[in-house]
Structure 1
């Protein structure tokens, strides 16, 4: 049976979304897969990834999320490798999918949710591991003394308060399905926080921080933030990488086995890599 490799176009999205729902994660509805693929952060994105087809049926897919970012005054093009799934009977051809993505020139590549054998494969493909040292801060169900610190999810307040790069990030992710937005204020200081809900050990009760606009304030305010997340998002703990928080928040402990994240670039280093404009922001699972 011949297996064909092709880029995922808009017309292919319904079939690919159905395939991923049935074969990768049934908890993610078809509509959620489709919505994630529709996110566009680059006007000239060449595709939504690649897929394998046999007898007109999707038998494998690897999503991709493209973005144009400004780094040190230059426009840099990113390709985030997303969900990857291949039917067992076609697994031998599955590597064609990431290889097709990596053959695209002019991009920096990230893989922010590799699992299992993918990590070792990525290393063979010249991906580099990011430092994902992760702190966990359990939420407390009772108020803590935190002075003038206030946490708000009000969209109007966020839009009115954010400026510069944080305002651009907020605007670009307002419709991203997995991205949740908060504003921490303390006196004249403020901090924009983006987070997603995550599942650990089959329990979807963790808030994973993806972006911190003011690391110093964030580390001081992590306890009231945790209270807010518990009360409004049923998150029993906050997870944040020390590279995002600018250090280990007070009262936090470090995970013994943080989840890996990887990137491949000829010119950028780890300090230039974040988790925005990616599958992590637009696909809840």
Structure 2
């Protein structure tokens, strides 16, 4: 019997989790793998990813993590393309490509992937994807530097004064490894979501996952690094698209894996790292 590609449903969750945990990455606990199929903001009308089934067994999977988010054009549906795995004995048969195409077949959805390998990048370029970013800006903190920018830890109650979208983001990510802050300067307040991950030679990357107003962040990135990054062996990391128009772009670092996206109408700057596998699995951004 030839393998078939089909959408994953609730009844498939345990089998997919077992495949991903035992065959793809046993370092990620089953409970975390489960999140990419059963996440709190999942729209009710979408699949829980796509799987490959052979003789009644799940032998492959690709995560499709959907969210409905406001943009300047109105509410748009986004999909983070996450973990993509196929048992070795089924590779090279074409079913892997069929799995990939199935996971990105909706024409009205903005797709993004932050972890695509080079070979996958070549495949998705042929399917209309573009490079979202291939560099980021790094800012080392300058202890004692003066600035009018203040950074406050943000609770659900605190971000409510910024607006309903900031409040919804904090609520949706409750219990997940995301930190929230309110950036203030004068009478302006902006929501920031970030996490801190050790990379390379134990450098603490304070990675910007989302900022409510990128235009506010870009000229203040160094001031934010001064207040938020670890004083020793720490950097603030900001993807290039969030630094548009900035005079000081810090130290430019090439990304080990390019970020990719495809959208019918959404500007790249609207694509961030929330509502994604990065936070659900508690991963480092490549």
TM-score range, shorter chain: 0.7 to 0.9
2:275 corresponds to 1:277: yes
**C-alpha distance in 1 between matches for 2:249 and 2:71:** 33
RMSD of aligned alpha carbons: 3.0
- Structure 2: segments with no counterpart, 5+ residues: none
Q: 8 Å contact 1:64–1:79 — kept in the other structure?
A: yes
Shift of 1:155: 1.5
Q: Secondary structure at the match of 1:85?
A: strand
Aligned to 1:260: 258
TM-score, normalised relative to structure 1: 0.82
TM-score, normalised relative to structure 2: 0.82
- Structure 1: segments with no counterpart, 5+ residues: none
**C-alpha distance in 1 between matches for 2:216 and 2:267:** 26
Q: Which one of the candidate residues 116, 119, 131 is aligned to 1:117?
A: 119
Shift of 1:201: 4.1
2:184 corresponds to 1:185: yes
Map of 1:88-167 to 2, 5 A cutoff?
A: 88-92=88-92, 93-139=95-141, 143-147=143-147, 149-155=149-155, 158-167=158-167
Q: Secondary structure at the match of 1:277?
A: coil
How many pairs were matched up? 280
Aligned pair in 2 of structure 1 residues 110, 228: CA closer, same or farther (>3 Å)? Answer: closer
Map of 1:1-285 to 2, 5 A cutoff?
A: 2-92=2-92, 93-139=95-141, 143-147=143-147, 149-155=149-155, 158-175=158-175, 177-198=176-197, 200-201=199-200, 205-215=204-214, 217-218=216-217, 219-220=219-220, 222-225=222-225, 227-230=227-230, 236-248=234-246, 250=248, 252-257=250-255, 259-285=257-283
Q: Secondary structure at the match of 1:259?
A: strand
Q: 8 Å contact 2:65–2:81 — kept in the other structure?
A: yes
Q: 8 Å contact 2:62–2:83 — kept in the other structure?
A: yes
Q: Deviations over 1:190-233 (max 9, x none)?
A: 231112344644858322212122445534264454553427xx
Q: Deviations over 1:146-203 (max 9, x none)?
A: 345432324156334421433333333334x243212223443323111234464485
Aligned pair in 2 of structure 1 residues 265, 215: CA closer, same or farther (>3 Å)? Answer: closer
**C-alpha distance in 2 between matches for 1:268 and 1:154:** 28
Which segment drifts farther, 10-19 or 160-169? Answer: 160-169
**C-alpha distance in 2 between matches for 1:160 and 1:272:** 21
Aligned pair in 2 of structure 1 residues 164, 225: CA closer, same or farther (>3 Å)? Answer: farther
Aligned pair in 2 of structure 1 residues 228, 130: CA closer, same or farther (>3 Å)? Answer: closer
Shift of 1:276: 3.4
**C-alpha distance in 2 between matches for 1:35 and 1:126:** 28
**C-alpha distance in 2 between matches for 1:155 and 1:51:** 38
Aligned pair in 2 of structure 1 residues 94, 256: CA closer, same or farther (>3 Å)? Answer: same
**C-alpha distance in 2 between matches for 1:95 and 1:197:** 34
Q: Deviations over 1:215-259 (max 9, x none)?
A: 45534264454553427xx98222101322444574720013463
Q: 8 Å contact 2:78–2:111 — kept in the other structure?
A: yes
Q: 8 Å contact 1:146–1:221 — kept in the other structure?
A: no
